[in-house]
Structure 1
């Protein structure tokens, strides 16, 4: 009976020893515990070296970060420069395509109308004020250009040659207040005279009255009177009609068919070809 009581009293002690053994076994597996003075010195020295090298390691890490950041920034700058260059090239291509389409349209006019000889001219400069609306073209007397010749674009009548130099021609555009254009309302056949209103974008019918047979959206073409502008060429479209307070006069505004401020290439109409001679 005494031995059984003693065994019962020692059971908690055995249990505690087992738990301690398990903990030591776990520590042995998962952690390296220095067991000898040599191991203790080695462990302390290795950790001390890591601590001593910590500033150098930090400096290297910062240096690598700065270097990587500079490389990334340089790469971004290169990409941005390439993007700008591509945009410039794209704009050049679009400009060339537009110019090519414009020249192709002029060539179609040249080949479809055998009444006149044409000279293709390029716009060089522009003079535009309230009282003047002029441009200079790169064709002159050495190319056979003479004063009084009509100038057209792919959409309609553009202006008239008023001065010629050896390599330049001065053109008064149809929106100039000083110019008068004999015209005709295509729908009704009414003969009218157009002149610029001074804004560089519109023309007006001179001496218009409320009794004239003209309506908004009427197409206005050259009448051919005066011999400058060929009959039937488009001049513009009526955009507004306003009756004045007098009850007699009217203000009729016409928007040009020609792209006045959007053309670089134009056609100068030369002498009318002799169709009878060509047929012979």
Structure 2
């Protein structure tokens, strides 16, 4: 059975009514523009229209504002990350530069003892200072590195200016460091100008160190630089420790005393370096074998560094 198909109507029909309405609206707009140019009678109406349309304008601007805010947050995060990276790089570079003065004088005395093929490397790990002890009789720092990062008791701690102290207590993810100004801390030092070796102990005032075991005829002067000695195998040699401020000697006494100010920024450093000694020894004198290699930041070789100290050398007691 054949059925007659009806012609389909288009979805949108063309009509002259829409064109006429558009033409009328266009003419009305032109008339309003002409009237507005000639007189100011439409100014209140224009102001009211702008106020009514302001929410729509604000809503239309929000996607662009949101895009600018996201871009600002992303750029801020990148800048903070770059700043932290520059801080870490600055700290590592300063730890290398600070040894130049000590090595210049050291080279003249120890060149004959060094082998041309003996190349030493100093391994270091950057750590953040979490807190500082408020006890005036205990100068300590809390660091954000612990046994999980290979930190061990007796490990040397330095900042960008000099030796800060050594680690005395280790937890899984944190460690406590005793500052050189603490009265319980002692460090073997060497007078950079003459090579005289002695022990520097903290005075407990948080600001100075004492050299109480100097012979009466010791050649030591005000402003002499004291650098770390490798005696005991705990502290790497050649790092600035303090600078002599005063020399005290009473006639007839067998010993003299010197007062020195630490080169490190005691209680003012936010980032420090944990150094692995040349012998890699722990507090009990055994060699450290479980140091995670990926935790190290290896510094360039320093050929002028003195040879390794013997393993049976006595350790310095903090």
TM-score band, normalised by the shorter chain?
Answer: 0.5 to 0.7
Q: CA 1:267 to 1:108, structure 2 compared with 1: closer, same or farther past 3 Å?
A: same
Q: CA 1:127 to 1:98, structure 2 compared with 1: closer, same or farther past 3 Å?
A: farther
State the Cα RMSD in Å.
3.0
Q: Is the 8 A contact 2:209 2:260 kept in 1?
A: yes
- Match of residue 114 from structure 2: none
After superposition, the C-alpha distances for 1:74-131 in whole angstroms (9 at most, x for unaligned) are xxxxxxxxxxxxxxxxxxxxx9999776433223257789612211101011114343
Q: Is the 8 A contact 1:128 1:200 kept in 2?
A: no
Q: Report which stretch shifted further, 250-259 or 112-121.
A: 112-121
Q: Are residue 250 (structure 1) and residue 259 (structure 2) matched?
A: no
Q: Which of these residues, 201, 208, 212, is aligned with residue 206 of structure 1?
A: 212
- Match of residue 162 from structure 2: 156
- Match of residue 171 from structure 1: 177
SS in 2 for 1:193: strand
Q: Are residue 218 (structure 1) and residue 224 (structure 2) matched?
A: yes
- Match of residue 108 from structure 1: 93
Q: Map 1:29-178 to 2 at 5 A.
A: 102-108=87-93, 115-178=121-184
Structure 2 segments unaligned to the other structure (5+ residues): 1-79, 100-119, 281-297, 302-318
Mapped partners of 1:239, 1:129: distance in 2: 25
Q: Map 1:265-280 to 2 at 5 A.
A: 265-270=271-276, 272=278
Q: Is the 8 A contact 1:239 1:255 kept in 2?
A: yes
- Match of residue 227 from structure 1: 233
Structure 1 residue 206 displacement after superposition: 2.4
| Higher helix proportion | 1
- Match of residue 238 from structure 1: 244
SS in 2 for 1:108: helix
